[in-house]
A and B are shown apart, each in its own frame.
Chain A
Amino acid sequence: MSKKQKKDKKDKKDRKSLQHLSIEQLLDQARNFLENGKAREAIDILKVAEKKFGASDPLRLLLFRAYRMRERQLRSKGMIQEANVVRKNLTAVLPPVKLLSESDVIGYLSHASLEEAVRFYQSLRKDDPLCGLVERQLAYRLMASDDWHPLEHLPPDHPLRQDAGIVRTAVDSMNEGNWETALQELKPVSRRSPYAPLRLFCKAMTLFLAENDDELLQVVARMPSDFPLNPILVDIRNRLQGTTPPKTQAPAARPLSPSAALWENQARAEQILEEMLRILDRDQLRSLSISVANFARTIYPADPTFAILYILETLWAEKAIDSGDIHDMRPLLTAAVPGSDLDILEAKIHLEEDPRLQAAIESYCKLLERTIPDPIRCKRIQAMVCMFGARKLQEEIELLDQYGRKALFFIVPNRGFTMEEMHQHMTQLILQSIELDPYHRNAYSFLLETCKTAKANKDILEKALLTMADTFPDDPYPCLELSNLYYRKNAFRKAEKILDEAVRRAPHDRRVIERRALSFVIAACKNFNRSNADLVFRDLEKAETFGSRELAPLIVAKRMLFHLLNKPDRLKDLSLEDIPEKLSLVDRLRVLGLLYQEAGERTDLFKKKHVQKVQKCLKHAIEKADLDPDAIVNLLSPFPSVYQPVLPEQPIAHALLCAHKNIWQGFSNEKLIDTFLFLFHPDIIGFLIGELEQRLRKNDNPQSLQMRFFLLTLNYMDPMPSFRILKDRYQDILREVSDTDRRELQHLARRLGAHAKGLLKQCLMNFNFEPLERPISSLFDFQHHESLFDDDDDDDDLEEEDFLDEFKDEEYEELKKIGELLNELRPLFKEHADQMSEKDRDELKQTCECFVDELDLNGKSHHVILSARRRLQENDNTRPILESLAHLVQVAEITDLSREAKILLFGSESNAAQLKFPF
């Protein structure tokens, strides 16, 4: 039996079953169908009921509603002819008006012809409650159709006819979008008029365009819900009350909102974006140029050229296109973008990509001279370009420091510089930048930050800081930095002079006052060494007059020290009571600590037994003071680093911990870790290790994992590695931790990393200790041992010849051979791809992951991995390895590689997912 026959049979059966139902049952069923939106089924049942029981009012009303629902359904599907047929049936079954609800009337009139609507209105009694509603509906229909002839059927004094002339004129204004005029024209229309909502709508539109949203919302609230343009106002209200602009889904998925026409075209911009991204995937440069220009015009009509350049640069920065693509697009964009702007875009890209940084900077600066007419602006930009180059070099120096020399291959371009030359180039670029734009403060700060360590840079720094002092005549900062520099150069008179200048510039600045007071303490020390005793105490008195609280213990300590140095035997009688009581207890203990340190460092003058006596006195004083942990932290806190010229070599904590080893008794384990991190100094590592070891011996230690981790790190940081006995390993500790503890350890590692250097710092920051605990011996390891405490000065010792030797060694040749071999094997792999076993695939996968491991790329950012990939591609020896691995992965159809491996081999994760061969 065919489907149709089956359906007919079922329908016949259903109809037969309906014959047995009462009229109420049939009407109930029809109501149910209507509630469920099944208009056709409801019509069928109601027809059966009409045939069997005759037409009754409730039946006609239900049939009317069923036809109305069906009509709406057909219209929404665009089946207008069918809807018109249903409309005829609807009119035929129109029930008496008294049975109709307001929504029935609105529904009926919304698609009735004007003549029908007028006839319907005329059928109403004058006192019918529906009259007002129908009049309004008629008014809306007249306005929408702009056909006013049907009004001729109404008496001349009818409200619809009375105001028609005014409304007709206003509708013309409204059609032109001239809502303000329309509102004025509708002014004579009374509030009771059926046209009143139209006037209200004009007011709403006027307020909308005037951006008077508060009043607009009030008007929207007064608008009758049956007004046909009400959805627009509701949509506007929703937009205005929402905190963010409305979310626009894919245009195809959602129709435009009712008020979409009133806002600048977001939906269209999204369509254009979709189109642009589709074209981008297809690599069609011509279409892409058109699409980029189109998108730029849509999102930023104020300056489409600027937007085009921005979009192109974004596409380049996100690696969606490369510099070659931009170059190829030039002729396609000339109509929209001036050539000079494209030149600047290309110069910017070269600045980032070109390994010949200096040449790129020079050519960019020349281009700027040609294209920017204002010389001041031009110099300012040139200064920025120089600073960009300097920062780039600084980043590369840091990477070299972090990754060792193999970074030259994979992470940073090989610019052919030694580390020292890189420093020199960087300094030159900063100086060039300062010369071009002396008002750029960041350049001076950057110079100070990068040149502090190298001795040769002191003259350069001095010159730059003097320029800064001249450029910013009211700023004490360059004077303070100059004074530091002069003290480092032992140019005391110059330092004092420049500090006087700082005081003149900022007499109330706390930093300046403190530094000037310190300069007198420094002068006192110098005079003491020159045996100018009378000047010593005069200088200290001068220092005191500044009233610096931080400096007070140091001044008191120096005064006492100078007295003791004149009469060294008095040291044996020294006690806490000798220290002036105007200082706090903690400061007095610090003074005693300083005196103990100073005396300990001058064993030629002071007897050892007297020094030991001071140590005992200090211990008793600390014990007697019974300080709480916070006060102990204050006691042990280091003096500011600028005090260094007048301080003993070791931090004060060293002296106090020597005197009192059990100072940590009152500290909880948690507080202890925080305090150790705060006080950290290489000279006190031994004390910290001792305390941690002692605490770890106790079993009931809730922070034992953190303390073990801390202890192990301190052991690595200990500057006396010969004594290092590692009882623990990071991997062992990490195996024992829960997820929560792991997060805490990670946090601790980052804090410890701030104090570490070299490989240890890298491991702590990345929370990956494999490189530290398992030496890498592999193809890509150049046997370079990275010292944990290497500093910049050590790196400076690397000579160019060392690098060249590294590049030409046997391992380098080996790389080349492996690349060639893999290249030769490629066709073979392709031929036998179907014979590859699961084991082969696993091995290939592991090889790829090892490749990533050996380049230290695990967990690295997308940008770093792409940089490594670029370096590998640029190098003739490493390119075949990369290409071959990618090719083999493609042939073997391996898609479950790590993120890092995917980016390294295929350039992006999406390329890897499609196994798109990238070369």
Chain B
Amino acid sequence: MLIHWIRLGLSPDAEDEDIRNRYLELVRKYSPEKHPERFKEITASYEAIKDMRTRLEARYLPMKASRQDLKTRFLELIKAHDNSRKRVGLRQLLQGCEREDTP
């Protein structure tokens, strides 16, 4: 369940309306023509949490074991992020490029 919240960039207390608005916002940003994979992931996540009962079940009922191994499961959480962009200064960017200065 956490993966869906991460993917949509929402807090677990978000209500139906917040979820829908965020989904529409992301769909506008990641259109199916330009970002087909991301669009699919976002839609799958929206479908998974749009129903209030499903959200409550996932939160308050015991989790079932999955077929994935533990590491893959957690790596998916990391990769689910919306690649949020960070504001970085010139100096830090130059340092990054110096590291890349290879023959």
Contact = CB atoms under 8 A, between A and B. Distances in A.
Is the pairing of A and B real? yes
A297 interface: no
Given A277-B71, A299-B78, A260 B96 contact: yes
Interface string B1-19: 1100110011111000000
A72 B98 CA distance: 12
A174 B61 contact: no
Among B86, B90, B93, max chain A CB count under 10 A is at B90
A710 B86 CA distance: 64
A261 B88 contact: yes
Interface string A244-263: 11000000000110111111
A663 interface: no
B77 to A, nearest CB: 5
A385 interface: yes
A313 interface: yes
B99 to A, nearest CB: 6
B54 to A, nearest CB: 10
A55 B94 CA distance: 38
Given A209-B85, A228-B94, A262-B86, A351 B62 contact: yes
Contacts of B103: 37, 69, 72-73, 76
Interface stretch (A4-12, A113-121, A264-272, A685-693): A264-272
Contacts of B81: 245, 264, 266, 299
Contacts of A259: 96
A299 B74 CA distance: 9
Interface string B63-74: 111100111011
B2 to A, nearest CB: 4
A318 B86 contact: no
Contact of A314 (B10, B70, B92): B70
Interface in B74-92: 74-75, 77-79, 81, 83-92
B63 A317 contact: yes
Contacts of A99: none
B1 A258 contact: no
A229 B89 CA distance: 12
A384 B89 contact: no
A319 B62 contact: no
Contacts of A175: 89-91
B102 interface: yes
A263 B85 contact: yes
Nearest to A299: B77
A827 B57 CA distance: 49
A280 B71 CA distance: 11
Nearest to B57: A384
A785 B9 CA distance: 56
Given A69-B103, A244-B37, A380-B53, A174 B60 contact: no
B100 interface: yes
B83 A273 contact: no
Contact of B73 (A229, A280, A314): A314
Nearest to B41: A244
A283 to B, nearest CB: 15
Contacts of A72: 102-103
Contacts of B37: 243-244
A261 B86 contact: yes
Given A76-B101, A303-B12, A317-B63, 4 more contacts: A72-B103, A269-B78, A273-B74, A388-B62
Interface of A: 37, 69, 72-73, 75-76, 110, 143-144, 171, 174-177, 179, 208-209, 211, 228-229, 231-232, 239, 243-245, 255-256, 258-264, 266, 269-270, 273, 276-277, 280, 295, 299-300, 302-303, 306-307, 310-311, 313-320, 344, 348-349, 351-352, 368, 377, 380-381, 384-385, 388, 440, 862-863
20 contacts: A37-B103, A175-B90, A208-B85, A209-B85, A256-B96, A261-B92, A261-B93, A262-B86, A269-B78, A270-B75, A299-B81, A300-B77, A318-B69, A319-B65, A351-B61, A352-B62, A381-B56, A384-B56, A440-B53, A863-B65
